[in-house]
Amino acid sequence: MSTWKLATPDFTVTLNLNAADNGAMNGTLTYQGTSYSVTGGWDAAGSVPGRNYSAFSLSGRTPGLPDVPNWIAAAGIMTGPGNAPSKIDIRVGVSSSADGTLTRYSGVLVPWDGVEGIDTFDHVVVLMLENRSFDSILGYMYPQGVPPNAPRGKTFEGVTGKNLSNPVPPGVKNPPPPGVTSIPVSPVGTDPNTGQQNYFQPYPDPGESYVHVNTQLYNLINGGDNPPHNLPPQRPLPVPPMSGFIMDYIENYKAEEFKGQDPTYDATPAQFPFTGYKQIMECYPTSAVPVCTTLAEQFGVFDHWFCAVPSQTWCNRAFWNAGTSWGFVVNATESSDWWTASPRWIVDSAGRTIFNQIQDSGWTSPLNWKIYSANPLVALTSIVHFTALAPYHPLIPGTWIHNPFNHFYGFGIFLSDCAAGNLPFYSFVEPRFFTPQSDMHPSTPGAYIDGSGKGNVGPVLLGELIVWQVYDAIRRSPKRDKTLLIITFDEHGGCYDHVPPSGSVTAPDLKGYTLEDDFDFKRLGIRVPTIMVSSHIAPNTVVNTPMHHTSFMKTVGAKWNKVVPGSCNPLTARVTDAPEFSEVFTSVAARSWPELPKPAIPAEFWTTDFSQAPLSPFQRSIVEGASKLPQAVEARKRGMALRDPATINTVGDALEYLRSMPGMIPEEPLSTLK
């Protein structure tokens, strides 16, 4: 008996077989990430005159009953001794009982150490940025299409060559030029005052809550905050035409951003950043976001990765790490009962997270997960998962005593952990959320002061910088070849995208929870950019298979279940039914990571005073969430005077408020971003 372990260099086919001396074979064959139980036989070359080659055949199916199986058949020629094959030429055929397709593959397998794609990494680092659609950041990639030698995916769902546009709403107060009834997708341009790339668009911030996203999907205003929440009457809902981005941008501008004012059609250079509604159809050219687009091209990009909920930050971030948002659809500050005597988010968000699963797995390492944030004491993740993560806050809950079980650290610690090879199993990195923010979130009105006269340092450029920092820190880490970096976004944030999200996804387990805005959680949110970087992902990898936020928990949960069986089982039905992303791994052998140019930030930026920048609704949600943290509650119990967060309106006041909280770890200086 011998074992044959071989794989194609891109993991398209792997073989893990027992080959008996009598010629019988059985084991596992994987094809494009799907595993098949197979049996068959082989004959050894040379054992009979005229038998000059070792030939074999196998057949079998995907395991498990009852199900909807694929069946597989393979034949090939093996080279080398029976106990140590050096090469296999293989032909594979697959038949699907789901769609009746027949597919075939031919390739060459080489010896393989049995490490599958998902096992190529020990550490996973997730950098989750804010509020950008796929088209907004990556839409202009691959204008000539994916190179023919790309290891995965032969198409790229970008904006080039598609004549994409949205209609201008009839009767708009500041109409477009005569004859213009729709606005096409175009690249974000330069500041005509300086000639430099504009890193602020769209400005001001588009609508992003559930009812706004419905308008963006269906170009319909129908009820607003009341049923049917801007949805069409048909059930099941029709496929969204993705045609309401201009309508919603105008409505949100008037209602939320510049209250009572109507946006102009086009740019007004004197009012840079531009405020015209035309800009909502603008997407960044690759030259404006070279770090993101280079990593997406040099490693792997998912061109059908959807956020979990057609709405805002808190819910989508909750889905990433918990597989649910417990019925919530909008950020907590917009929930009518968040600040009442028994805030529902605190109670309902007590559900376990993947951090709790890792913590409870009994692994020996005391620091098997970390959350890195510019404000570790008030990390957004600690607020979103208020109760579940309380035991791991920097302070012992209800006290001002340093918590020895703390799992929240500053971004500077992330950089030093990378350098020292001390990354935990799971690192979740938060960008800087306060102005000047590095989260790529579109700016709130007035927040452009961080770029005025300072070289147009907008959130997109600072986002490029933190992506570069995280990438480069891992690139230089001794653990680089065992680390998977995932760069993603929580939600599309109202930025234009042209691909309709799925309307038939599994809802998480919601029994007992109140469904905010009557949303049934059976629809996904809009596409977001998701890039994966690993020593085992080849250049030009494009994964076309639709994924969504809970694909993360599904995939790493399966991986960690191999380490501690049962430790990371799916927390919700949404996770159970999520597709795994393991097909992104394409290389058996480790590859190198190219050095990328660091985004250039003008020197004067680092000494600019941002304290008077207005607080955005999202930033306000963090301040108000922090006011409910245990140490703040304790402070009020002890009679300390803490400012009412409702009176805080600027970034300077917000940071001062956070610093005033007992036991507060000072916010990391802006220079950490340098």
Partner 1 sequence: MAHWKLASSDHTMALDLNAADNGALNGALTYAGASYNVAGGWDAAGSVPGRNYSALSVSGRTPSLPDVPNWISASGIMAGPGAAPTQINIQADVSSSSDGSLKHYEGVLVPA
- Smallest distance, partner 1 to C-beta of residue 71, A: 4
Give the CA-trace dihedral at 292, 294, 298, 302, to 10 degrees: 40
Q: Shortest Cβ distance from residue 67 to partner 1 (Å)? A: 7
Which residue's CB is nearer to partner 1, number 68 or number 401?
A: 68
Identify any residues that bridge with 165 across adjacent strands, giving them in sequence order.
184
Residue closer to partner 1, measured from CB, 22 or 592: 22
Phi, psi of 304 (to 5 degrees): -140, 55
Instruction: Encode 377-416: b = buried (16+ Cβ within 10 Å), e = exposed.
Output: bbbbbbbbbbebbbebbbbbbeeeeebeebbbbbbebbbe
Rounded to a whole number of angstroms, the minimum distance from the CB of residue 469 to partner 1 is 46
Nearer of residues 31 and 434 to partner 1, judged by Cβ: 31
The alpha carbon of residue 494 and the mean position of all alpha carbons in its chain are separated, in whole angstroms, by 16
Distances (CA, A) of 418 to 358, 404, 414, 478, 636: 20, 22, 6, 8, 38
* Interface residues toward partner 1, by CB under 8 A: 39-43, 45, 47-61, 66-77, 89, 91-102, 104, 106
CB of 32 to partner 1, least distance (A): 15
- Give me the least distance between CB of 653 and partner 1, in Å please: 56
Tokens in use for 314? 């808190």
User: Between 54 and 197, whose beta carbon lies closer to partner 1?
Assistant: 54
Looking at beta carbons only, is 80 or 614 nearer to partner 1?
80
User: CB 505 → partner 1: shortest distance, Å?
Assistant: 16
Q: How far is the CB of 31 from partner 1 (least distance, A)?
A: 11
Instruction: Give the C-alpha separation, 174 to 276, whole Å.
Output: 10
Supply 127's token pair: 């950098």
Q: Yes or no: say if 585 and 534 are a contact pair by the CB < 8 Å rule.
A: yes
Q: Which helix (H) or strand (E) holds 556?
A: helix 550-563
The full DSSP string for 456-497 is ---HHHHHHHHHHHHHHHHHTSTTGGGEEEEEEES--TT---
CA distances to 267, 616, 665 from 280, rounded to whole Å, are: 11, 19, 38
Q: How far is the CB of 39 from partner 1 (least distance, A)?
A: 8
Nearer to partner 1 by Cβ, of 20 and 499: the residue is 20
Instruction: Give whichever of 80 and 617 is closer to partner 1, judged by the CB atom.
Output: 80
DSSP string for 199-258: ---S-SPPP-SHHHHHHHHHS--SSTTSTTTT--S-SSPPPP----HHHHHHHHIIIIIS
- Cβ proximity to partner 1: between 195 and 236 the closer is 236
DSSP 583-603: GG---SS-------PPPP--G
Least distance from partner 1 to the Cβ atom of residue 65, Å: 9
Q: Which is nearer to partner 1, 45 or 633 (CB)?
A: 45
Q: Look at strands 186-187 and 426-429 and give their pairing.
A: unpaired
- In the complex with partner 1, which residue's Cβ is closer, 52 or 671? 52
User: Which residues sit opposite 387 in a β-bridge?
Assistant: none
At its nearest, how many Å lie between partner 1 and the CB of residue 37?
10
CB 578 to partner 1: min, Å: 17
d(Cα 469, Cα 471) in Å, to the nearest integer? 5
Name which of 37 and 611 has its Cβ closer to partner 1: 37
Q: Is 76 helix (H, G, I), strand (E, B) or coil?
A: strand
For residue 546, count other CB atoms closer than 10 A to its CB.
18
Q: How far apart are CA 247 and CA 169, in angstroms?
A: 6
The pairing of strands 54-61 and 70-79 is antiparallel
